């Protein structure tokens, strides 16, 4: 399966999962704290696709992204974030698509988005680092999902761009 077909299938599944947990989720345009600090690991294939999104930006948006890249710091804001919105949303990597959900990952542990601590996703069902509802039962960890096809090397976004 190629990456674009994989994304189409993934997005279909994620739509169902976001619907399943919608009463506990707060993701919406303009909510961007998950894009303001992080490592954003992504593969060579995802980076290539992300840059296709960059190529479609206006000259002004490109200037802003380039300036953000000049000032990029490891663990900091994603340079593609402009005015609290993702400028390359249809082209964003897998980790950005799955991040808001709580899901079962390896060794039966549950991955909960960090914003549960900030009164956002799952905060109504979150206590002591755990959620009290059933998580999504598919492992949505991006590195695990990337094992489905040959996507090349995986690095954090800053390491690709620096
Ligand atoms: S994952 Fe959390 S911080 Fe990110 S958009 Fe959703 S609610 Fe906002
Ligand atoms: S690519 Fe878009 S969604 Fe992903 S971290 Fe950057 S701004 Fe956020």
The 10s digit of each residue's pLDDT in 113-141 is 999 999 999 999 999 889 999 999 999 99
Report whether residue 145 contacts ligand 1, using a CB cutoff of 6 Å.
no
pLDDT band of 106, cuts 50, 70, 90:
confident
Expressed in angstroms and rounded, the spacing between residue 108 Cα and the centre of ligand 1 is 23
- Least Cα distance to 95 among 56, 25, 159, 47 occurs for 47
From CA 71, how far away is CA 88, in angstroms rounded?
Answer: 19
Instruction: Looking at the CA of residue 120, tell me the nearest atom of ligand 1.
Output: 7
| pLDDT the model gives residue 128 | 87
CB of 96 shorter than 6 A to ligand 1:
no
The pLDDT value given to residue 92: 98
Report yes or no on whether pTM surpasses 0.85: yes
Of 34, 121, 143, nearest in space to 81 by CA = 34
Encode burial over 15-34: b for 16+ CB neighbours within 10 A, e otherwise: eebbeebeebbeeeeeebeb
Mutate to test the pocket of ligand 1, among 27, 92, 98, 126 (most ligand atoms within 8 A of CB): 27
More confident residue, 107 or 71: 71
Shortest-distance atom of ligand 1 to CA 115: 2
Atom of ligand 2 nearest to the CA of 79: 6
Q: What is the DSSP string of 59-83?
A: HHHHHHHHHHHHT--TTS--TTEET
The string of pLDDT tens digits covering residues 58-103 is 999 999 999 999 999 999 999 999 999 999 999 999 999 999 999 9
């Amino acid at each position: 399966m190629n990456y674009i077909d994989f994304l189409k299938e993934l997005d279909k599944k994620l739509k169902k999962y976001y619907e399943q947990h919608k009463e506990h989720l707060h993701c919406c345009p303009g909510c961007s704290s998950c894009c303001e600090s992080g490592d954003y690991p992504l593969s060579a294939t995802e980076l290539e696709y992300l840059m296709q999104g960059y190529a479609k930006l206006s000259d002004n948006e490109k200037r802003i992204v380039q300036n953000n890249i000049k000032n990029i710091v490891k663990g900091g804001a994603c340079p593609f974030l402009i005015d609290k919105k993702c400028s390359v949303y249809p082209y964003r990597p897998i980790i950005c698509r799955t991040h808001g959900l709580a899901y079962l990952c390896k060794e039966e542990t549950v991955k909960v988005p960090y914003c549960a601590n900030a009164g956002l996703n799952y905060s109504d069902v979150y206590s002591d680092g755990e959620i009290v509802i059933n998580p999504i039962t598919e492992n949505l960890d991006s590195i695990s999902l990337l094992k489905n096809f040959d996507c090349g090397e995986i690095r954090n976004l800053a390491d690709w761009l620096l």
